């Protein structure tokens, strides 16, 4: 997405966003973007580092990455390709529902490439002759990264000494493999610029040096002209919470976009639980709501903060963006059931609605009808992972902390009867405030 400083002639150009296949996972965006959007890129070119994933990006690291397994990287390339395509197509639909004017859907304009495509038959001698000769070691040694941390009302820029030189002077040093990473990423930008018309590369602030290297390589091998567009690099600051903690995998609070890694419900709930001090910032960074609408949402939230209306809107917007409206509806239904909202009681929802809401979520467990009606709730809770053991379930029952369909389990040997089940086939077990499983028979 563009903001005003980008040249108007670049409005419909292609945008490159790299992905590391070493993990095979996509996270919630962990870098802040703009909030006053003037137009939206309608052509996306995403590159998966099938080759560079085998090397490992040293940016921002004081230690070398562990070597990546070739087969794992290959599998992750395929997984990331599917994930990137799904995400951007969903994002186009979300944007089309939110933006007026300068947005045109481009469902067929999402292209995903792995750089194995151009490195597989690219020999080392040819690489040195085409790329190495245009790189200056002194320049590579002096490139440093700038970490930009978003505070609530301003951007603080902190210089972090994680340059190539700093790594070379560290105790561990840097391998030649890592040293070449910058050149590989630079050539990626050049190749996509030349063959696919990519003019903008976007990355986190730790990618600044790598992106600049790509811009410089393009200027050397394909100087801008009337027929060769000028390349641009855009970096975004690391996002932090109001307490200053980083948002992402390294901080241990990553939220994956893949529903098999983070369920839709857990994704939705993560943003429901966002602190009041962060919610306005996240609405501005992660959604396409207008600033005036965000102000209204925040003001209404301040009147009754206990209702978490701003967090609910944030969770709804992001769940629709990353997943879809149907998934959002399911997550909202699940939340109403789990957190016992006044308007919804477990027994008031029909069995099929419950099953549809929890479909695909690990909390939905299929059982035999006989098991539901002949096994004590204590054993059901332990057997299906709601609690760690029978003794843990026993302690919960004794402290009145184990529930079935919103009712306290009255005794240790309590076993559900058909009358206790929802439509005779579903039993919702809850441990404490919010840990549940839905046991259903076919």
Please state whether 67 falls in left (phi above 0), alpha (psi between -120 and 50) or beta. beta
Tokens standing for residue 165: 């030189």
The CA distance from 288 to 206, in Å, is 26
CB 231 within 8 A of CB 220: no
Cβ pair 30, 248 in contact under 8 A: yes
Task: Give pLDDT, residue 178.
Answer: 78
- pLDDT given at position 149: 43
Q: How far apart are CA 14 and CA 41, in angstroms?
A: 7
CA dihedral 234, 255, 332, 403 (to 10 degrees): -170
Helical spans, DSSP H, in 99-169? 116-119, 124-130, 137-142, 164-169
Domain boundaries, the chain: 8-248, 263-343, 345-442
Q: pTM (2 decimals)?
A: 0.71
Q: Are the C-beta atoms of 164 and 143 separated by less than 8 Å?
A: yes
Query: What distance in Å separates the CA atoms of residue 430 and residue 422, rounded to the nearest whole number?
Result: 15
Distance CA 397, CA 415 (A): 13
* 311-349 per-residue burial string, b: 16 or more CB within 10 A, e: under 16: bbbbbbbbbbbbbbeebbebbbbbbbbbeeeeeeebeeb
User: What is the rounded CA–CA span in Å between residue 266 and residue 360?
Assistant: 12
pLDDT of residue 239: 77
3-state secondary structure 34-54: CCCCCECCCCEEEEECCCHHH
pLDDT by residue for the chain (442 residues), tens digit each?
333 434 444 444 555 555 555 544 555 544 344 443 333 334 445 555 555 555 545 454 444 445 556 677 777 778 888 888 888 888 888 888 887 665 565 555 677 888 888 888 889 899 999 999 998 888 887 765 544 444 444 444 443 444 566 667 777 777 887 788 889 999 999 999 998 888 999 888 878 888 999 999 999 998 777 787 889 998 887 777 777 776 665 555 678 888 888 889 889 999 999 999 999 999 999 999 999 999 999 999 999 999 999 999 999 999 999 999 999 998 998 888 777 654 455 556 778 888 888 888 888 999 999 999 999 999 999 999 999 999 999 999 999 999 998 889 999 999 999 999 999 999 999 998 878 899 999 8
What is the architecture, at CATH level 2, of domain 8-248?
A: 3-Layer(aba) Sandwich (3.40)
Q: Work out the widest C-alpha separation in the chain, in whole angstroms.
A: 81
**408: β partners:** 403
The pLDDT value recorded for residue 161 is 40
Q: Which helix (H) or strand (E) holds 302?
A: helix 291-303
- Write down the CATH superfamily of domain 345-442: RNA-binding S4 domain (3.10.290.10)
Which residue is associated with the tokens 């400083």? 5
Q: For position 86, what pLDDT does the model report?
A: 86
CA distance 382 to 365: 13
Architecture of domain 263-343: Orthogonal Bundle (1.10)
């Amino acid at each position: 997405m563009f903001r005003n400083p980008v040249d108007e002639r670049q409005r419909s150009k292609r945008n490159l966003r790299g992905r590391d296949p070493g993990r095979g996972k996509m996270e919630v965006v962990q870098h802040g973007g703009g909030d006053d959007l003037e137009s939206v890129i309608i052509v996306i070119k995403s590159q998966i580092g099938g080759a560079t994933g085998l090397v490992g990006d040293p940016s921002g690291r004081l230690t070398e990455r562990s070597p990546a397994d070739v087969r794992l990287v290959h599998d992750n390339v395929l997984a990331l390709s599917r994930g990137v395509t799904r995400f951007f197509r969903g994002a186009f639909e979300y944007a089309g529902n939110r933006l007026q004017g300068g947005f045109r859907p481009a469902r067929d304009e999402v292209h995903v490439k792995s750089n194995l495509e151009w490195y597989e038959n690219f020999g080392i001698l040819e690489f040195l002759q085409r790329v190495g000769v245009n790189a200056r070691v002194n320049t590579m040694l002096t490139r440093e990264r700038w970490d930009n941390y978003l505070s609530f009302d301003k951007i603080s820029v902190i210089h972090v000494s994680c340059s190539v030189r700093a790594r070379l002077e560290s105790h561990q040093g840097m391998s030649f493999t890592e040293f070449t990473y910058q050149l590989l990423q630079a050539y990626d930008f050049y190749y996509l610029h030349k063959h696919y018309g990519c003019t903008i590369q976007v990355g986190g602030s730790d990618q600044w040096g790598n992106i600049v290297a790509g811009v410089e390589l393009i200027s050397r091998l394909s100087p801008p002209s009337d027929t060769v567009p000028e390349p641009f690099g855009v970096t975004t600051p690391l996002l932090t919470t109001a307490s200053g903690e980083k948002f992402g995998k390294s901080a241990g609070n990553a939220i994956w976009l893949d529903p098999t890694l983070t369920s839709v419900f857990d994704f939705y709930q993560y943003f429901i639980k966002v602190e009041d001090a962060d919610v306005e910032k996240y609405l501005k960074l992660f959604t396409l709501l207008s600033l005036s609408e965000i102000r209204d949402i925040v003001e209404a939230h301040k009147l009754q903060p206990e209702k978490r209306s701003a967090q609910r809107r944030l969770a709804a917007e992001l769940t629709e963006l990353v997943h879809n409206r149907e998934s959002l509806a399911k997550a909202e239904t699940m939340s109403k059931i789990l957190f016992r909202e006044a308007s919804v009681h477990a027994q008031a929802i029909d069995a099929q609605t419950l099953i549809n809401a929890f479909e695909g979520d690990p909390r939905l467990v299929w059982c035999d009808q006989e098991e539901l009606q002949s096994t004590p709730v204590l054993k059901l809770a332990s057997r299906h992972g709601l609690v760690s053991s029978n003794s843990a379930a026993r302690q919960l029952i004794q402290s009145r902390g184990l529930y079935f369909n919103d009712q306290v389990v009255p005794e240790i040997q309590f076993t559900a009867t058909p009358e206790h089940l929802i439509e005779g086939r579903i039993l919702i077990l809850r441990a404490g405030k919010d840990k549940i499983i839905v046991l259903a028979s076919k």
